[in-house]
Structure 1
Amino acid sequence: MNVVITPHTLQGTVEAPSSKSIGHRDLICAALADGESVVDNISPSQDIEATCQILQAFGADIQEIPSSHPGRAAYCVRGGLKRQDQPLSVNANESGSTLRFLIPVGILSGNTVTFHGQGRLAKRPLAPYYTIFDEKHIAYTTTDGALPLTVHGTLRPGRYALAGDVSSQFFTGLLMTLPLLSGDSHLQSTTPLESASYVNMTIDCLTQHGIQIDKDWNGSYHIPGNQQYRNGEYVVEGDYSQAAFWLSAGTLGKAICCTGLRPHSSQGDEVIVSIIRQMGGQIEGKTELTACPSLLEGRVIDVEDCPDLVPVLTVLATCSKGITRIINAGRVRLKECDRLHAIATELNKLGADVEEEPEGLIIHGVSGLTGGRVSGWNDHRIAMALAVASQRCSGTLVIEGAECVRKSYPEFWQDFASLGGIYRQED
């Protein structure tokens, strides 16, 4: 689907989608618990659907039930992993979180599991797990380190070490499974851990589900064994990585109020609020954040702990005065697309001045953008960032492949229209 946007400033109130990151974690924790749990306030997406389908293949019973939050989904989860009679073949679609979180869960289930993926996920790195598999004598087969991956073996308590500069998702996968083993384990990063806030989010979620993780003084993790997940009712909080698009839009257009957010969240992307303020933007409120039109100034932005914000931060920097440098962003080249190259390429088509560096971007602010034709790169965050940029375009903006928002935020275009955005599907 290609969308044709007639530039118009956005204004109004919008509820943030629920956190996809926390939704994945809550569903997995519920599936690992004995008994019945309810996970409410989930914004349906392709990624969440992939996680549910694989958990069901591993033995959990997951049924969608009416939600107490209008427009959202709730899931009743009857937990428990089961060894199946035949090898399993499962598909993570394009969800890196689903794949990396559930590989250890698949091993824990006792099944022989073949993991498949779509798009760039099939090529995204899994080397930290392969190192562990070799050390722990867990059988696996893969072609050139890519999907499909077949794995079968036994997770045993002990010492685990893996690189922390590829993705924090490997740490989350192990932190979720190691507490269920028969003895204590120790998890250590062999490099400085990037995106540490996502690991903190995991530990916060595990704590709510009754699991204890002890962080050592040197940044490693002690995981007591023989633990049990606690079943119960869980409500997923709003997503700051998605709210970032609307808060940025309000800063560049007219006032936008974004509701449903938890103050002092464990989500690293909550930093979008302080980044906008540091650039000179005005954001007011706590659980209801209102972003007001502001004159922004360029600055150095370190995204090591908030890589998902890079596309929309590049839009903000393009519309700011002076020069912005985005640093420590090399890992976003390994997302659904090479996000550094994609956002630089598409914004430059519209008259921006964005230079690529190996680990970041240099953005020279411009007074405005032209219209034109751009690609969403089959990447939800690229397409949504370009939609925000449309407010500063002087002519019509066409975004090709705009349906890619379904990966994380299927209601994006409806919310865009509710805030005054003018778009239509291209004939």
Structure 2
Amino acid sequence: MGNLKIQPRKLSGTVAVPPSKSIAHRAVICSALSNAESFLQLNLSDDLLATIKGMQALREGGDVTIDCNESGSTLRFLIPISLVLTNGGRFIGKGNLGKRPLTPFFPIFEQCNINHKEGNGDSLDFQVKGTLLPGHYSISGDVSSQFISGLFFALPLLNGDSILTITTPLESKAYLDLTLSVMESFGVHIEKKDNQVYEIKGKQIYQNIPYEMEGDYSQAAFFLCANALGSDVNVKNLKLNSEQGDKAVIELVKRFQEHDSQDLITIDGSQCPDIMPIIALTAALQNKKRTQIIHAKRLRLKECDRISAVCKELNQLGAKIRELEDGFYIEGVSQLSGGCEVWSHNDHRIAMMLSIAATVCKEPILLKNYECVSKSYPKFFEDYLQLGGGVHEWSMG
């Protein structure tokens, strides 16, 4: 477990953020489901490697074991695909992945007589066996849109048509729109009807086409929020009319600039939960302004309990932030103190958030377990250093 000592320096310069991880997962899957070779420009993060290797295993067939590592996208996207290509398989993983629910799939499994078995330990060990059939299915949308995306990838491959009805308000809707957009680029169409009903024609064929990757707003959010806190970073590779849900960071930062200190700023985190840790940091530095982030309970089921981790680590640095059941209540301060040891909780987004926090501290911080950024942005600290960030490895001994 590595440690970084990070000096309180503002960032400046130009950075090209890596290609969108969310789009890359989807493009890799669509490409692998076609019958031709393709070329994709990818940022080979741990999560994306899990999806690439998983799709390779499914294409090869046989008794499949897929190591999802810590990637919820890999797990939830590939389970339905496995029920089309290989009659299921075994899905393993580590970290908190075994605690993240798979229950929205279970009514569909029962409808198709698909067997499933969960392991007894905390680590993921999930086995599923059977065949996904064409049909009329219902699924909840308030746990994660990833379950629906997984079915979207798989159902067009079947010999008959299907209808999928979403029975609850849909969280992270932009991610579902992103799935449909990428699939459309690869020649597979799903038609949305009224009241969250989707018609899915069977016997569709994924067409392999040149696909251009756009920059990742989830990663750009760290630098865009750093700018709101006094840095001066020019972020390249971002598509202005992107369908990425985390593009919301631009409007959220504007809201802090537009509100005066008498207002309570309320942010709904349900549609873009991944950027809520860095938004919480930004809110914590809005001096004398109050912010509440709500509808973000899913943060408790990520790589760590991100609500608890954000509160614990930022309060150590001098923030005034407390936990809500589904988010945060934040009273803004003018600067963080630093001068202490903080922990990433083995969560890439907490590690990157704390490195941005260092830019507004009075004293250096010591960040424990910084290498976890490899999950999504392996070169984050290289880019951070290139932008003038003061980082060097530090021995706890």
Deviations 1:114-168 (A, max 9, x none): 1000110122111111222122211111136973111111111111111111111
* Number of the residue aligned with 2:165: 188
Q: 1:7 is matched with which residue?
A: 8
Which protein is richer in strand relative to its size?
1
1:5–1:396 CA contact under 8 A, matched in 2: yes
One of 61, 79, 84 as aligned partner of 1:83: 61
In the TM superposition, 1:229-378 aligns within 5 A as 229-280=206-257, 299-321=265-287, 322-371=289-338, 372-378=340-346
AA paired with 2:388?
G
Which one has the bigger helix percentage? Answer: 2
Q: Which residue of 2 aligns with 1:106?
A: 82
Corresponding residue number in structure 1 for 2:48? 48
Aligned to 1:71: none
Matching of residue 222 in structure 1 with residue 210 in structure 2: no
Deviations 1:164-191 (A, max 9, x none): 1111100010000101111111111121
Give the counterpart letter for 1:303 in structure 2.
G
Residue 421 (1) aligns with residue 389 (2): yes
Partner of 1:379: 347
* Per-residue deviation, 1:112: 4.3
Cα deviations by residue, 1:68-119 (Å, 9 ceiling, x for unpaired) = xxxxxxxxxxxxxx532xx222200000001110011111112441100011
Q: Aligned partners of 1:188 and 1:339: how far apart in 2?
A: 31
1:330·1:358 contact (CA, 8 Å) conserved in 2?
yes
- What's the TM-score once normalised by structure 2's chain length? 0.95
Counterpart-to-counterpart distance in 1, 2:134 and 2:92: 27
Q: 1:188-207 to 2 correspondence within 5 Å?
A: 188-207=165-184
Question: Which residue number in structure 1 is paired with residue 147 of structure 2?
Answer: 170
Tell me, in whole angstroms, the C-alpha distance in 2 between the residues paired with 1:93 and 1:393: 34
Q: Distance in 2 between matches of 1:145 and 1:129?
A: 20
CA distance in 2, matches of 1:109, 1:306: 31
**Amino acid aligned to 1:377:** H
Q: For residues 361-412 of structure 1, what are the alpha-carbon distances to aligned partners after superposition, in whole Å with 9 as ceiling and x for unaligned?
A: 1000012111111110010000101111111111110111111100000000
- Which structure ranks higher in relative contact order (CA pairs < 8 Å, sequence separation ≥ 6)? 2
Residue 298 to residue 45, structure 1, CA distance change in 2 (3 Å): farther
With the length of structure 1 as denominator, give the TM-score of the two structures.
0.88
In structure 2, distance between residues paired with 1:163 and 1:182: 25
Tell me what 2:27 maps to. 26
1:287 equivalent in structure 2:
none
SS of alignment partner, residue 366 of structure 2 = strand
Deviation of 1:50 (Å): 0.7
Deviation at residue 219 of structure 1 after TM alignment: 1.7
Q: How many positions carry a matched residue from both structures?
A: 389
**Contact conserved, 2:88 with 2:131, CA < 8 A, in 1?**
no
Q: Secondary structure at the match of 1:39?
A: coil
Aligned to 1:79: none
What is the aligned partner in structure 1 of residue 72 from structure 2?
96
Distance 2:135 2:191 in 1: 15
Q: Are the equivalent residues in 2 in contact too, given 1:178–1:225 (CA < 8 A)?
A: yes
**Contact persistence 1:374–1:397 (CA under 8 A):** yes
Cα contact 2:87–2:131 (8 A) shared by 1 = no
Measure the CA separation in 1 of the matches of 2:241 and 2:219.
17
In structure 2, relative to structure 1, the CA distance for the partners of 1:298 and 1:369 (3 Å cut) is: farther
Q: Distance in 1 between matches of 2:37 and 2:199?
A: 28
Inter-partner Cα distance in structure 2 for 1:370 and 1:19:
33
Please tell me whether the aligned partners of residues 88 and 111 of structure 1 are also in contact (alpha carbons under 8 angstroms): no
Paired with 1:270 and 1:222, the residues of 2 have a C-alpha distance of 28
Q: Distance in 2 between matches of 1:116 and 1:306?
A: 27
Off by >6 Å, runs of 4+ in structure 1: none
Residues 11-32 of structure 1, C-alpha deviation per residue, up to 9 Å, x if partnerless? 1110111100000000000010
8 Å contact from structure 1 (residues 11, 253) kept in 2: no
Pick aligned residue for 2:368 from 400, 409, 418 = 400
* Structure 2, gaps ≥5 residues long: none
1: CA distance, partners of 2:9 / 2:369: 21
Let me know the Cα RMSD of the aligned residues.
1.6
CA distance in 1, matches of 2:145, 2:88: 25
Q: SS state of the match for residue 314, structure 2?
A: helix
Residue 257 of structure 1 and its aligned partner are, at CA, apart by 0.6
After the TM superposition, which of the residue ranges 215-224 and 304-313 deviates more from structure 2?
215-224
In the superposition, relative to structure 1, how do residues 230 and 90 fare at CA in structure 2: closer, same or farther (>3 Å)?
same
Structure-2 residue corresponding to 1:65: none
Report the Cα distance in structure 2 between the residues aligned to 1:102 and 1:353, rounded to whole angstroms: 41
**1:351–1:370 CA contact under 8 A, matched in 2:** yes
On the 8 A contact 1:298/1:317 being kept in 2, the answer is: no
Deviation of residue 253 (structure 1)? 2.1
For residues 65 and 137 of structure 2, the distance between their equivalents in structure 1, rounded to whole angstroms, comes to 27
Instruction: Deviation per CA, 1:293-335: give whole Å up to 9, x if none.
Output: xx9x862111111000110001000000310111110111111
Give yes or no for contact 1:298–1:365 (8 Å, CA) kept in 2.
no
Percentage of matched positions with identical amino acids: 44
